[in-house]
């Protein structure tokens, strides 16, 4: 295993535990006087994409900041200690949210709440809008961005599972100022590690619009409203004369990266979606998923949750 992947996995376990125990941490801080402040850093606010890209290679240990809803928490807990912060919020070209009959293109600065409240006849946007409600709490959704969540590559991010299930394509720009496209299948490397390179910026995510034969389903389970999910399932099912012909069934949060359960889809092919077939597919998903170790929940419990969310996500596609 590469050192980078290994350290990402370690950071993931620590960050997940700390996020879940945040309230305990604040109590500790109050009683023991621990500091919840970020280390010093240089703050830069470029006014063009070109300038932002130059800053990425001309400064010590730079990190892009978009909504800051993940990065600032990580900095305050000293899990991330960048020397330089590059704030991209002035880059207006990253605010685009383009919808046409064939595709939906979400620029790097589009927030969770813009998606949540966007009124559109697009079936894909309506679906994303219903999923957005599951992300954190309202104030976080107003600041956090779709692309920031994808770049952050937390396996429990709803948008990461959507990227994979809905056949999204990431557009990044690098030092040669040329666009590079990353297919969702190749995007996630390890928890908190994507294929975006250190000197690149994620500029947008594009999804194909769904047609009248395609149904989408989402379900997740978390202990409390606003918590990160223990498991989630995003389903994209193509039907022909009520029989499954193709699609994706993606499990998020339960494993290291969002994962397609191809065996569950293979089982469904040629069959109708009903309680019986959806339950069997959900059993396959629970059996095949490689569970990520977690001090909060046992493997057996997580498999049960995977089964439940997969069943509900598939039934929603009926
Ligand atoms: C209490 C709490 C609960 C939360 N619950 C959930 C949840 O249930 N589900 C969920 O998905 N998220 C959750 N989040 C995270 C939230 O959704 C964040 O908004 C999101 O993960 C990151 O978006 P951001 O714009 O704030 O990114 P930032 O915090 O600014 O950045 C996150 C990371 O992505 C990188 N980055 C950002 N934009 C780009 C870009 N354009 N190009 C390259 N790199 C980039 C940054 O360098 C950083 O490493 C929660 C956060 C909090 C504080």
Q: Which atom of ligand 1 is nearest to the CA of 192?
A: 49
User: What confidence score (pLDDT) does residue 22 get?
Assistant: 52
Q: Is 146 in the pocket of ligand 1 (CB under 6 A)?
A: no
Cα–Cα distance, 187 to 182 (Å, whole number): 6
In this structure, whether the domain defined by 3-20+36-87 belongs to CATH 3.40.50.720 is answered with: no
Phi/psi of residue 144, nearest 5 degrees: -70, 150
User: What confidence score (pLDDT) does residue 15 get?
Assistant: 58
Q: Is 170 helix (H, G, I), strand (E, B) or coil?
A: strand
Measure 199 CA to ligand 1 centroid, in angstroms: 18
Top-tier CATH class for 214-315: alpha beta
Alpha helix stretches (DSSP H) within the chain: 3-20, 22-32, 49-58, 71-76, 112-117, 123-132, 138-143, 146-152, 158-165, 262-268, 275-288, 299-315
Contact in structure between 140 and 69 (CB atoms under 8 Å)? yes
Q: Which atom of ligand 1 is nearest to the CA of 71?
A: 29
pTM attached to this predicted model: 0.91
In this structure, whether the domain defined by 93-208 belongs to CATH 3.30.465.10 is answered with: yes
User: What confidence score (pLDDT) does residue 31 get?
Assistant: 46
Q: Is 70 in the pocket of ligand 1 (CB under 6 A)?
A: yes
Q: Which atom of ligand 1 is nearest to the CA of 159?
A: 11
Q: Is 148 in the pocket of ligand 1 (CB under 6 A)?
A: yes
What does the buried/exposed string (b/e) look like for 164-197 if buried means 16 or more CB atoms within 10 Å of the residue's CB?
Answer: bbbbbbbbbbbeeeeeeebebeebbbbbbbbebe
The tokens for 270 are: 């040629």
Cα 90 to Cα 7, 49, 50, 109, distances in angstroms: 32, 9, 12, 9
User: What confidence score (pLDDT) does residue 18 get?
Assistant: 53
Q: Which atom of ligand 1 is nearest to the CA of 73?
A: 53
Q: Is 74 in the pocket of ligand 1 (CB under 6 A)?
A: no
Contact in structure between 50 and 177 (CB atoms under 8 Å)? yes
Within the chain, all domains assigned CATH 3.30.390.50 are found at 214-315
Phi/psi of residue 98, nearest 5 degrees: -105, 130
Within the chain, all domains assigned CATH 3.30.465.10 are found at 93-208
- Over its length of 318 residues, how does the chain's per-residue pLDDT go in tens digits? 456 665 656 655 555 555 555 544 554 454 445 677 899 999 999 999 999 999 999 999 999 999 999 999 999 999 999 999 999 999 999 999 999 999 999 999 999 999 999 999 999 999 999 999 999 999 999 999 999 999 999 999 999 999 999 999 999 999 999 999 999 999 999 999 999 999 999 999 999 999 999 999 999 999 998 899 999 999 999 999 999 999 999 999 999 999 999 999 999 999 999 999 999 999 999 999 999 878 888 999 999 999 999 999 999 999
User: What confidence score (pLDDT) does residue 30 get?
Assistant: 46
């Amino acid at each position: 295993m590469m050192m980078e992947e290994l350290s990402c996995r370690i950071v993931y376990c620590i960050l997940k535990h700390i996020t879940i125990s945040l309230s305990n941490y604040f109590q500790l801080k109050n009683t023991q006087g621990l500091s919840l402040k970020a280390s010093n850093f240089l703050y830069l606010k470029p006014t063009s994409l070109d300038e932002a890209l130059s800053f990425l290679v001309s400064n010590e240990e730079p990190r892009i900041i978009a909504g800051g809803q993940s990065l600032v928490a990580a900095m305050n807990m000293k899990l991330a200690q960048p020397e330089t912060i590059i704030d991209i919020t002035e880059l207006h070209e990253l605010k685009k949210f383009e919808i046409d009959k064939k595709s939906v293109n979400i620029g790097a600065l589009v927030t969770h709440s813009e998606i949540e409240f966007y009124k559109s006849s697009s079936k894909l946007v309506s679906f994303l809008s219903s999923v957005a409600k599951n992300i954190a709490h309202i104030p976080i959704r107003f600041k956090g961005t779709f692309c920031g969540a994808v770049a952050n590559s937390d396996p429990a991010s709803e948008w990461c599972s959507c990227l994979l299930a809905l056949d999204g394509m990431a557009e990044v720009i690098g030092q040669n100022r040329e666009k590079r496209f990353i297919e969702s299948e190749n995007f996630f490397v390890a928890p908190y590690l994507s294929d975006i390179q250190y000197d690149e910026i994620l500029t947008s995510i594009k999804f194909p619009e769904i047609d009248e034969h395609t149904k989408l389903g989402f379900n997740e389970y978390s202990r409390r409203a606003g918590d990160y999910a223990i498991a989630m399932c995003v389903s994209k099912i193509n039907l022909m004369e009520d029989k499954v012909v193709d699609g994706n069934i993606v499990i998020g949060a339960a494993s290291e990266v969002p994962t397609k359960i191809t065996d569950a889809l293979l089982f469904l092919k040629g069959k109708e979606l009903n309680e019986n077939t959806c339950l069997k597919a959900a059993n396959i998903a629970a059996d095949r998923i490689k569970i990520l170790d977690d001090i909060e929940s046992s493997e057996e419990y997580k498999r049960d949750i995977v089964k439940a969310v997969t069943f509900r996500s598939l039934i929603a596609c009926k």
